[in-house]
Structure 1
């Protein structure tokens, strides 16, 4: 793929950049070298490589979700200012 001035202008517009003529030429060289490197990588035989999502082996670092305290109704209601029949009594909010 050849990098043209139109391509550089389009990418600069997407990135909301204003490039001078010298910066456009530099960007054209950089993008060309990046694409050439990608072409080189595409020549490699990766048919026997297992796909991976990350370079490093990552394991789940989260702990198991284990319930450590159970809902104890009497304990929960011990701090309630008003209670009736094992429930909280709250002021009426809707008339």
Structure 2
């Protein structure tokens, strides 16, 4: 059975982040499985990749702590590092019936 997963809200959120922060922004795509098609994983969310170190060390350390907490929530999920542009393209493909 061919199933697509279309999430317009997620696609729009990714598009806005890509415009605001650039196509090379590192992210981690989070995959889920649905009962209708348990053999296929679909991207259903994402988090930002590792924070970029800038001149403000306090902000970087705080962002890194938050990032590490987010990573801990991914321990039992399928996930994949990519750029936000790759994520956007994957979401577009995913929204079509394959």
TM bracket, shorter-chain basis: under 0.3
- Larger relative contact order (CA 8 Å, sep ≥ 6): 2
* TM-score (structure 1 length as normaliser): 0.26
